[in-house]
Structure formats: structure tokens, C-alpha cells
């Protein structure tokens, strides 16, 4: 069961997709909402959780989406924070809409996130329902890819909760062929995500963000 993490006067809801990403270091810091894999499951679970918290007048001051991501250009096993999130599945271009833009919704293709942690490398993040591998990266207009963050961001928007997205690069340099190609670096990513979360706590306590 997830629990809000209190940092000074601020509360944080941590959201992760899958248990293999929730390693021993992160387990010492917080209890996340496990939203499941992909945009549909994450949208359902996060919206449900935020609705319950809203009914209790207990919405978090910030939601942190964290876990692994793929990239063919960023350093493997390093952690990056997303400066923006886009939705690569959306393509209504035959009707004249820009690729990535949801028709009749007043949102840009790239949605800029409001807070950045000083000293943590940045990258643009693309969300979709597919695992990207090999040559498929050539079609992605972002430095890293995941399967949940855009959906989580849309849920956050409905409840006016700001979001931070942290991702450790688990794969992308070579084509994925088996499960261990994804899990190989998860222990290292767990340690580095934990260090990054501690940095987030420090800037919240200092008042630099929120």
C-alpha cells in the first residue's frame, strides 16, 4: 500500500510502474503507488489514487514519477530528470493535427514540467504503450522513452498537482531481446534514484522548489 511521504511541510506521492524497479535503496525511503505498466494502467491507477486523496483533502504537494527508461543516446545506468513529457502514440496527422497533439485538447505536444532539481542531468521524455528498441529510436523526438509518465502527468493536471519525472536509463544502446536486457542495470539505477530523491528532499526543505 502506498503512503504519502512527508518532507518538512510538504507531502510527496511517489509512483512507480513495476516491482523490479523498486529496489532495496528506494524501499528504505518511501512506499510508492504501483501503477502498472503502460499509459492505460497508470492513468487508471493514478487518477483513482488522486481522486481518493482529493476526497480526503489530502492531495500531495508534488507527485514524483520514477523508474527506468530507454535511450539510445543517454548514458546507461545514469539518472535523468525530465524537462518535458510528450505522447508518442498520438497521431491524428491525417486530419491536419500535429503528430503528438491530441485533437481538440488545449495542450502542446511537449508539456514542460514545472520543477527541476539542481545538479541532476536533464532530458526530454516520450511516453507510449510500446517498448522502443533498435532502429525505432530514430522515430522518437526525445532523448528517453517510458510507458507511463505522460498518462500520469494528465492525471496530475486534473487535480492541479505538479509532477517531477526521474528516470534511470536501463537499456537502449543495443536491441532488447530478453528480460535481462532490461533488468541488468536496475540495481545500480535503484541506488542512483535513491540519491536523486535525497537531493529532491534537500531542495524541498530549503524552499528552492515548492
DSSP string spanning 175-199? ---SHHHHHTTHHHHHHHHHHHHHH
Determine the Cα–Cα distance for residues 146 and 93; give it in Å rounded to an integer. Answer: 22
Assess contact for 165 and 114: CB atoms under 8 A: no
Assess contact for 68 and 170: CB atoms under 8 A: yes
Q: Which helix (H) or strand (E) holds 153?
A: helix 149-158
Cell match 494502467: residue? Answer: 41
How far, CA to CA in Å, does 169 sit from each of 87, 110, 188? Answer: 19, 20, 10
Determine the Cα–Cα distance for residues 68 and 14; give it in Å rounded to an integer. Answer: 14
Nearest partner of 1 among 49, 35, 33, judged by Cα: 33
Q: Per-residue pLDDT tens, the chain, 210 aa: give them.
A: 899 999 999 999 999 999 999 999 999 999 999 999 999 999 999 999 999 999 999 999 999 999 999 999 999 999 999 999 999 999 999 999 999 999 999 999 999 999 999 999 999 999 999 999 999 999 999 999 999 999 999 999 999 999 999 999 999 888 888 988 888 999 999 999 999 999 999 999 999 888
Assess contact for 172 and 70: CB atoms under 8 A: yes
Nearest partner of 32 among 3, 63, 54, 6, judged by Cα: 3
Q: Name the pTM for this structure.
A: 0.95
The region that residue 134 occupies, defined by phi over 0 for left and psi between -120 and 50 for alpha, beta otherwise, is left
Amino acid at each position: 500500500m502506498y503512503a504519502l511521504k512527508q518532507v518538512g511541510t510538504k507531502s510527496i506521492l511517489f509512483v512507480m510502474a513495476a516491482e523490479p524497479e523498486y529496489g532495496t535503496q528506494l524501499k528504505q525511503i518511501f512506499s510508492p503507488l504501483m501503477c502498472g505498466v503502460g499509459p492505460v494502467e497508470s492513468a487508471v491507477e493514478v487518477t483513482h489514487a488522486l481522486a481518493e486523496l482529493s476526497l480526503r483533502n489530502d492531495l500531495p504537494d508534488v507527485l514524483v514519477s520514477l523508474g527506468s527508461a530507454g535511450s539510445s543516446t543517454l548514458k546507461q545506468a545514469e539518472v535523468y530528470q525530465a524537462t518535458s513529457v510528450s505522447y508518442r502514440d498520438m497521431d491524428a496527422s491525417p486530419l491536419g493535427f500535429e503528430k503528438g497533439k491530441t485533437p481538440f485538447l488545449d495542450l502542446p505536444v511537449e508539456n514542460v514540467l514545472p520543477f527541476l532539481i539542481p545538479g541532476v542531468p536533464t532530458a526530454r521524455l516520450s511516453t507510449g504503450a510500446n517498448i522502443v528498441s533498435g532502429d525505432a529510436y530514430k522515430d522518437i523526438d526525445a532523448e528517453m522513452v517510458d510507458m507511463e509518465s505522460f498518462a500520469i502527468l494528465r492525471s496530475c493536471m486534473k487535480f492541479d498537482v505538479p509532477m517531477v519525472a526521474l528516470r534511470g536509463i536501463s537499456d537502449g544502446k543495443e536491441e532488447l531481446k530478453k528480460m535481462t536486457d532490461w533488468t541488468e542495470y536496475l540495481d545500480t539505477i535503484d541506488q542512483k534514484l535513491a540519491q536523486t530523491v535525497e537531493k529532491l528532499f534537500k531542495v524541498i526543505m530549503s524552499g528552492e522548489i515548492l
